[in-house]
Chains A and B, each alone.
Chain A
Amino acid sequence: MKSEMFDLKFTVNGKPYELKVKPNTLLVDILRKDLKLTGTKIGCLTSACGACTVNIDGKAVRSCSVLAPQVNNREVTTIEGVADGDKLHPIQEAMVEHGAIECGFCTPGMVMSAKALLAENPNPTREEVREAIQGNLCADEGYVKYIEAIEIAAEKMQGGQ
């Protein structure tokens, strides 16, 4: 059974791409292997851990659970597109300063879930923050620091406006 290549046109971190992809390729593999954007991590590949979370059209989605052709004409943001050049995003800054990052493997996914949350809901309750990263597992049990860091970032982002 041969599968024809699919002409994928999409935007990653604001940059347009046109690629020929096998339709059975997962988005995460396009990002990591074709575009060499290895900040997005593969933890489980079974839609359980959330390490591969990216934003598709601004919403948090697991890139291991989306077929590449499904992001045709859509906008994908990965962890590489979050900082403004050398200037970290307030979410990243808060995570660094607050010591939220332990081994760091789940961090890109945490940032992408937090980013989607704060874009939709700039002033979330603690419960809403918890819910937003419920699908991001941290093997170091660092959840509390992450939650606090996201709250700090939310405050900063509010103040800056």
Chain B
Amino acid sequence: MIADFEYFAPKTVKEALSLLSRYREGAKIIAGGQSMLVIMKQGLFAPEYLIDIKGISALDYIKYDKGKGLRIGALTIHRAIEKSPVIQKHFGVLSEMERNLATIQTRNWGTIGGNLCHGDPAGDPAPVLIALNSKLKLASSVGERIIDMEEFSKDYLEVDLQTGEMLTEIQVPILPAHTGTAYEKLMVMKGDMGIVGAAVSITLRPGDGVCENARIALGSAASVPLRAQKTEKQLIGKVINDTLLAEASEVASTEADPPSDVHGSTEYRREMVKVFVKRVARLALERAKAA
């Protein structure tokens, strides 16, 4: 079933990085393994050296600072993010997203970092983190670098991790005042991978209600979690109403480049992108008005 591998369970980031630099391309990190074990069981993926970082407790944390924002350790389980009072209070959209990420069993073992590094364009956290303008901290034995979440995904199941590098932290900045955020996805069953998903963040100018800034990211709408910048431009600088949202959602459906598979054809997904961009942007707008 699962091909043989040599197994390591480092207890610190330093140990993990030293193993990564020793085994280079042959090494693969496993965290909760909730996505990776599936493809290993199918025989689609057979690493030579498996570095199990699930036991590195130093990467399991949620820290909030009203200046610096939110910092989530890469090995924080989904369930902890869902249930975190500080996340529910300041970044409710993250907690909402987690509630529909697979099932409780998966959320009890799977980690946010593992999810992001798996690089599935249907994954839930990436679009939300892109809409929140998040950054990722990547570490290697030669140092650290910080990149924008939206730059991390390169192609289907491919992310910008260089040989010897691992994800250690997710950084979410404080939301500007008068900002509303939302995320929803099309599911057949609750907890399914989204057939399409949309995450939207809208910032309004107080007084006249003009959209000062918008960030929109789509899931399952391309080979990577897609930031829909052309769609954002439709909204920025204008007062958002249903007509404008309808126009913007048309742009989103052409900006998307969705796959065609057993869950939905490209055409169907384009239509659903329209529906979800409209629906989610409307919700984010309501929340921005109430903020």
Binding site for B on A (CB under 8 A): 1-4, 6, 22-24, 26, 45-47, 50, 53, 56, 59-62, 65-67, 69-70, 72, 113, 116, 131-132, 134-135
B109–A24 touching, CB < 8 Å: no
Complex CA–CA separation, A65 to B9 (angstroms): 17
Residue from A3, A45, A66 within 8 A of B33 (CB atoms) = A66
Which stretch in B46-54, B62-70, B212-220 binds the other chain?
B46-54
B52–A24 touching, CB < 8 Å: no
Residue from B37, B52, B79, B105 within 8 A of A53 (CB atoms) = B105
Question: B108 in the interface, Cβ–Cβ < 8 Å?
Answer: yes
Contacts of A45 in B (CB 8 A): 41
Question: B88 in the interface, Cβ–Cβ < 8 Å?
Answer: no
Question: B56 in the interface, Cβ–Cβ < 8 Å?
Answer: no
Q: Could you list 29 A-B pairs, sorted by A, with CB under 8 Å?
A: A1-B3, A1-B4, A3-B4, A4-B6, A23-B5, A23-B6, A24-B2, A26-B37, A45-B41, A46-B38, A47-B34, A47-B38, A56-B109, A61-B105, A65-B106, A67-B33, A67-B37, A67-B52, A69-B9, A69-B52, A70-B33, A70-B52, A70-B55, A131-B99, A131-B104, A132-B104, A134-B190, A135-B105, A135-B106
Majority SS at the chain B contact face: loop
Q: Give the most central of A3, A22, A46: most B CB within 10 Å.
A: A3
Complex CA–CA separation, A24 to B79 (angstroms): 26
Interface string of B86-129 (1 = CB under 8 A from A): 00000000000001001111101100000000000000000000
Q: CB-nearest residue of chain B relative to A21?
A: B7
Q: CB-nearest residue of chain B relative to A53?
A: B105
Complex CA–CA separation, A2 to B5 (angstroms): 7
Contacts of B170 in A (CB 8 A): none
Question: B30 in the interface, Cβ–Cβ < 8 Å?
Answer: yes
A62–B105 touching, CB < 8 Å: yes
A sample of 15 more A-B contacts (CB under 8 A), given A24-B3, A26-B37, A46-B41, is A3-B4, A4-B7, A26-B2, A45-B41, A46-B38, A50-B103, A59-B108, A59-B109, A62-B105, A62-B109, A65-B109, A66-B109, A69-B9, A69-B52, A135-B102
Contacts of A22 in B (CB 8 A): 4
Contacts of B2 in A (CB 8 A): 24, 26
A2–B4 touching, CB < 8 Å: yes
B104–A3 touching, CB < 8 Å: no
Binding site for A on B (CB under 8 A): 1-7, 9, 30, 33-34, 37-38, 41, 48, 50, 52, 54-55, 79, 99, 102-106, 108-109, 190-191
Complex CA–CA separation, A116 to B52 (angstroms): 25
- Closest CB-CB distance, B118 to chain A, in whole Å? 13
Complex CA–CA separation, A155 to B201 (angstroms): 42
Q: CB-nearest residue of chain A relative to B108?
A: A59
Contacts of A60 in B (CB 8 A): 104-105, 108
Complex CA–CA separation, A45 to B55 (angstroms): 24
A72–B9 touching, CB < 8 Å: yes
B103–A1 touching, CB < 8 Å: no
Contacts of B103 in A (CB 8 A): 50, 134-135
A65–B37 touching, CB < 8 Å: yes
Q: CB-nearest residue of chain A relative to B99?
A: A131
Complex CA–CA separation, A24 to B48 (angstroms): 11
B7–A3 touching, CB < 8 Å: yes
- Closest CB-CB distance, B30 to chain A, in whole Å? 7
A67–B104 touching, CB < 8 Å: no
- Closest CB-CB distance, B264 to chain A, in whole Å? 19
Complex CA–CA separation, A69 to B7 (angstroms): 9
- Closest CB-CB distance, A160 to chain B, in whole Å? 25
Contacts of B109 in A (CB 8 A): 56, 59, 61-62, 65-66
Q: Give the most central of A2, A47, A61, A113: most B CB within 10 Å.
A: A47
- Closest CB-CB distance, B79 to chain A, in whole Å? 8
Q: CB-nearest residue of chain B relative to A132?
A: B104
Complex CA–CA separation, A135 to B104 (angstroms): 7
